[in-house]
Amino acid sequence: MAAAYDLGRHATAVVAPEQGHSGRVWRLTTTRGRYAVKVPFARPDPAAVAADAAYQDIVRAAGVHLPAVVRTPDGDVLRELDDGTVVRVYEWVDVRPADRTLDPGAVGRAVAAIHAADVPDDRPPHPWHTEPVGVDRWRELTERALAADAPFAPRLAAHVPELVALERLLGPPGPVRRCHCDLWADNVRASASADQDVVVLDWENSGPADPVGELPMVMFDFGVRDPDRTRSLYAAYVAADGPARVTSPADCSMLIATLGHIVEIGALRWLNGTDPAEREIDAAWVAEGVDDPLTRRSVDLILGACAQVEAAGA
């Protein structure tokens, strides 16, 4: 790997302490420094990888703190090794554990800087971010989970009526551009070397989305049901010239759809799986949406915080 990217000599590699949902990560150390080597579970499309790498370059140049994309001497992002393994490389950045109580102002300013980079993307948004799971699918998953005595089954069954009600709020997205699309606390971290310096990770799933839809995802995760935190995040975003304005329940569509599909896929994988370790991961996906759930009250809190900020600035 070091030779393929001309990273220096005396390379050593260890599995990174955290793994992503889409691949394994190795920390590679050479005479030149430390690097993150990502080995995707599925073979990536080179054109898609080139596009997400170009987007990362643009956002990083705009001042967002993210690991730099490392390319081969020929300028390629991906490299296939002799054994057929496909890898990509980033600079290594030390970050603190995921923390939903990060300074909301720092998070708001980081998201504003991301959204200020207006990178066109004329593809339709992924259904993961726009489409409902649907009442029939929720009913099927609940019945299967209860019959299989899944550890999350009672909580899922109790929350399904709220999930169905939330999906009635869904509306079409506004104008789309390239967005991160995965700005949860797992990917928005504090730097280990500087307090309140926000580092944004894992840009491989970036794609077409409406910034107005992406912002409530951040407000829900980092607001942690606290009106003051939610208001502070939105105020910092607006003050930093972030372009999105959240004004209606439909603006929370990306949040509603995405969390719904996270629960759906986690439940489905658990039900179809047999490996205990994999099932534990799948159950955690479901827990993400039913243990600290999004509700219509959560949507009202987000809209109320935004309205207060807008009124104060009027």
End-to-end CA distance of the chain: 55
The pLDDT value recorded for residue 196 is 61
| 122 Cβ contact partners less than 8 Å away, ≥ 6 residues apart | 208
Looking at the DSSP bridge assignments, the partners of residue 35 are 28, 91
The pLDDT value recorded for residue 1 is 86
Indicate the pTM of the whole model.
Answer: 0.94
Which pLDDT tens digit goes with each residue over 148-198? Answer: 999 999 999 999 999 999 999 999 999 999 999 999 999 999 999 876 689
Query: Does position 314 have pLDDT exceeding 60, yes or no?
Result: no
Provide the mean pLDDT of the chain.
94
Which pLDDT tens digit goes with each residue over 198-243? Answer: 999 999 999 999 999 999 999 999 999 999 999 999 999 999 999 9
Q: Which domains does the chain have, with CATH numbers?
A: 2-91 (3.30.200.20), 104-313 (3.90.1200)
Mean pLDDT throughout 122-128? 95
Which pLDDT tens digit goes with each residue over 25-75? Answer: 999 999 999 999 999 888 899 999 999 999 999 999 999 999 999 999 999
| 157 Cβ contact partners less than 8 Å away, ≥ 6 residues apart | 142, 145, 146
Query: Does position 19 have pLDDT exceeding 80, yes or no?
Result: no
φ and ψ at 265, to 5 degrees?
A: -70, -40
